[in-house]
Structures are given as C-alpha cells and as structure tokens.
Amino acid sequence: MDAFARIVGPQHCLTAAADIAPYGEDWRGVLHNPPALVVRPASTAQVAAIMAQAAVQGLRVVPAGGRTGLAGGSVPVAGNAPSISVSLERLNRIRAVDGVDMSITVEAGCIVEQVQNAASQADRLFPLSFGAQGSAHVGGAISTNAGGIRALRYGTMRDLVLGLEVVLPDGRVLDDMRAVRKDNTGYALRHLFIGAEGTLGLVTAAALKLFPPMRARQTAFVAVQTPHAALALLGRMRDCGADLVAFELCGRRPIALTIQNLPGFRAPVPLTTPWYCIIEIAAAHAGAPLRAIIEDSLAAALEAGECVDAMLADSEESRAMLWRMRESTPDAQRREGPSANTDTCVPVSAVPGFLDDVAGLCAARWPEGHMMAIGHLGDGNIHISLQAPGVVPAVEWAARATGFDDAVADLAVAAGGSFSAEHGIGQSKLRQMARLKNPVALEVMRAIKGVLDPGGRMNPGKVLPGLAAY
C-alpha cells in the first residue's frame, strides 16, 4: 500500500469497502468480488511504476476501464488470492487530433463519447458507437475489441486502432504509437493486446482512425415479418447508393419492453409484426439526396414484400429517439428480471436459420422462458437471451436456464460462427472457450501469455481456460 501510495498519492489508493465495491461488480449485477486495493494512476509513467511494483510484490493485477463489460473481465475472480485493480479513469487526456492524417491520439481512460465529441469538434468522425459509449473507456473498448452498431461500415475496434501504448506486466512500456496507415515492420504487436481483455498488459493510450463526418443521414424504423425478409432488405440497402452505416434487427419483445419499462418512448409504428429493423444511411456530402434514396428503397421493399410498414425519422430528435430506444433495450430487459444472455455471430446469410434453430431449442427445453433477440444483422452479431417469466431471483433463473448459453453457442459454431462476437470471454465464457476454441489456437495463446506474463498475474482467470489457478 505504501509503495503504491508513493506512486499515485494516498488519495488515489482506495481500500475503504464502499470505495472498492464498485470495482468488484459487473454491470449485470451477477458477479461480486472486490479487489484488495484500487490504484488510480494519472500517467503512463505511473502505470509503469505500479506494474513494476506489482511484479516485485508478485501481485495479481486486474485492469478496470468503465466497467461496462458484459463478461466479468474487470471483476477479480472469486476464490483467487487478492488482486489490485488498476483503474485508468484519470488517464483521460485527448493528446492530439489530426484532421489531415485522420487520426486521434487519446489516453486509455477517455470515455468513448469524449473521443466522438473531440473528433466531431474537428469536423471528423470517430465511428465506434454502442449503448455504453457514455461510460465505457477507450482502453476497455480496445481490450474487448468492441463492435457496436456501425461495425458493418467501419469495422470493430480492431479496425480502428492505428497504434498502441501498452505497459507490460513487468513495467516496461511498449511504445507502438505510430499513426501511419502502413507499417510492415514485423509482427503487428498491437493486435495481440486488442481483445486481450487485459491479460497481456495495460493499454495506456491509442492512436485511432478518424473518418469524414456523416453530414447527411437518414434513419428508418421498419416493420418486417421475418428475419428472411430483413435479410432481403439488408441486401437492398447495401446497394442503395449511400453508405449503409447501421442495420439492426430487433424482435418485438425487446422493443415492447423498452417502451413499457422506460419513460419517454413510444412505438414508432404499431407493433403488429414479430420483427423490426433500424436502418441508417449516411453520406459525407451534406447535399446527398438521402431522403429520396431511403424513400425509394423502402417503397421498392414494400412492393417486394420485404417490409410491411416504416417510419422515417423526420428530425434529429426523432432519429436520436430511435437510437436511444435501441440502446436502452439491455436496461429495459434488466429491469424486467434476470435473463441468460449470449453474444453470437454467424455469417449474415445464416442469421434467419440460426434464429429458427434457437427458437426451436427454447420451445423444446425452456418453454417457460421468453426468447429475446436483438442485434446487428448487418454483421451477423445477434444477441439472443432467455428472459425469466417475471421477477425471479437471478441465481434461480441462472440454475433453471443452465445449458442455454452452451446450446446457443453450439448452434452458432455449427453455423460457421463465433460464440463470442463483441463482449469477450472474461470469466463468463471460459467453459465455452475450453469446449469450442480450436485446441491449437489455445496452445498458441497460452504460449504468448507465458512469454509476456510468465507469472500469470495479469487479469488471472480470464480469457484462457485452465490458467485460473495461477
């Protein structure tokens, strides 16, 4: 404690139960296990000194970002020896915005929305966008390789990172912060840390890609009868002549729950069909004729039977309302009661069949639960959950829904997909990682972990099954 207090100041070493409790919980309210100490550095040099000191003392280190992760990655594993959490919340400076090179250099504790705003002030776009963007950190988004609603157009966080600064478990600083577009100087080390969920080192800063802003955009809420129809509509919108920046698929139930459980929402169209799409097209040119493009496309879709109703956002306010409604669905669902959740991705063409298979599975094995599906049809990442019938204790529903996540993961992998699309493995998907990840890939990952973190002190019990005992 004294050694860490000398590095960051005693006021940034938290040990009081009330202060450390939030670092021992996840957003879902399922995991509870506080660290022994929370250290809050304000510079890369302080992070390096903390990591060197933790190495000397043989301490386990758990990185904490905005703590919005959905796989328990920032929560110390219960039953392990005590850990220290290193929270990057004070490392939150925008270092540079470059509108010519189209890059922004930021510290890891910057909130994603802060980066969007800094880019926007320079008339540029940082495109990563998801429900927790007002709390999630850049470091957390990098470490989970966050995806979100615009991944179909701009890719996931991995596609947006040009360079990284990382403090390794022994305290060395790996400065790989170039912001250039081409750099073939050997292994692209940054990719090791993107999606590593803090198991290889602490990300302290990143150079990120910027894009021209969306000076024109149009957003629509569209009622469709089936995921097959939604898929046909997705194909149409991809070819519409504007940038398709989002194409979400939502079951009726998550939308209805959001309207019912949260204030300020109303149904954009009568909720008479089982499925809805939220579609956004955009252009960098303010005068691009997007209204005509989306109206023509949806009229043709109606004619072809791909959709049955549509509402076009006619103001920035109604556009924002549609996205707030979409992004509030996890919260509305959480208020409704506990649910078993999944984060699968299948090839876009396989989504309708996959949803049919999961519906069949739920009807056969958990008829009392409510299947909820919502996600990013544009990239094949649909979140399917099994909602408890009413308010029951989370532990009880977890027991009754045992096997749901495994069964859905099996169906996704059988369809050529992934059992973890954008939330990561954390401690929630270790079993699936052991069962479903290619064994050679696991061997290589363990070898890399062994080189960078031979003591197994970085976020132990996460990502790699079988290493929890370190």
Ligand X SMILES: Cc1cc2nc3c(=O)[nH]c(=O)nc-3n(C[C@H](O)[C@H](O)[C@H](O)COP(=O)(O)OP(=O)(O)OC[C@H]3O[C@@H](n4cnc5c(N)ncnc54)[C@H](O)[C@@H]3O)c2cc1C
Could you list the residues that contact ligand X (CB under 6 A)? Answer: 27, 62-70, 73-74, 88, 108, 130-132, 136-137, 139-141, 143-144, 146-148, 197-198, 202-203, 330, 422-423, 426, 459, 462
Distance CA 211, CA 101 (A): 10
Cβ distance to ligand X smaller for residue 426 or 456: 426
Shortest separation between residue 204's beta carbon and ligand X, angstroms: 7
Shortest separation between residue 405's beta carbon and ligand X, angstroms: 16
Instruction: List all residues 6 or more positions away from 40 whose beta carbon is below 8 Å from its beta carbon.
Output: 8, 12, 13, 14, 86, 87, 89, 90
HSE toward the beta carbon, residue 152, CA cutoff 13 A: 26
DSSP string for residues in 164-200? EEEE-TTS-EEEE----S---SSS-THHHHTTSTTSS
Shortest separation between residue 187's beta carbon and ligand X, angstroms: 19
Shortest separation between residue 203's beta carbon and ligand X, angstroms: 4
Q: Is 62 helix (H, G, I), strand (E, B) or coil?
A: strand
Cβ distance to ligand X smaller for residue 89 or 243: 89
Distance CA 400, CA 391 (A): 13
Distances (CA, A) of 87 to 40, 312, 319: 5, 42, 35
Closest CA to 368 of 388, 354, 385: 388
Cβ distance to ligand X smaller for residue 108 or 214: 108
Shortest separation between residue 24's beta carbon and ligand X, angstroms: 12
210, amino acid identity: L
- CB–CB of 352/380 below 8 Å? no
Cβ distance to ligand X smaller for residue 148 or 380: 148
Shortest separation between residue 422's beta carbon and ligand X, angstroms: 3
Cβ distance to ligand X smaller for residue 363 or 434: 434
Cβ distance to ligand X smaller for residue 130 or 276: 130
- Residue 159 phi, psi dihedral angles, 5° rounding: -75, -15
Q: What is the dihedral of CA 236, 283, 254, 425, to 10 degrees?
A: 100
Shortest separation between residue 178's beta carbon and ligand X, angstroms: 19
Closest CA to 130 of 284, 343, 425: 343
Residue closest to ligand X when measured from CB atoms: 140
Distance CA 125, CA 284 (A): 10
The beta-strand segments (E) located in 252-325 are 275-283, 309-312
- CB–CB of 459/73 below 8 Å? yes
Shortest separation between residue 260's beta carbon and ligand X, angstroms: 18
Q: Is 412 helix (H, G, I), strand (E, B) or coil?
A: helix
Distance CA 129, CA 290 (A): 21
Shortest separation between residue 179's beta carbon and ligand X, angstroms: 19
Shortest separation between residue 140's beta carbon and ligand X, angstroms: 2
Cβ distance to ligand X smaller for residue 66 or 378: 66
| Per-residue tokens: 397 | 């529903």
Closest CA to 275 of 300, 309, 250: 250
Distance CA 36, CA 55 (A): 16
Cβ distance to ligand X smaller for residue 449 or 462: 462
Cβ distance to ligand X smaller for residue 73 or 227: 73
Cβ distance to ligand X smaller for residue 294 or 321: 321
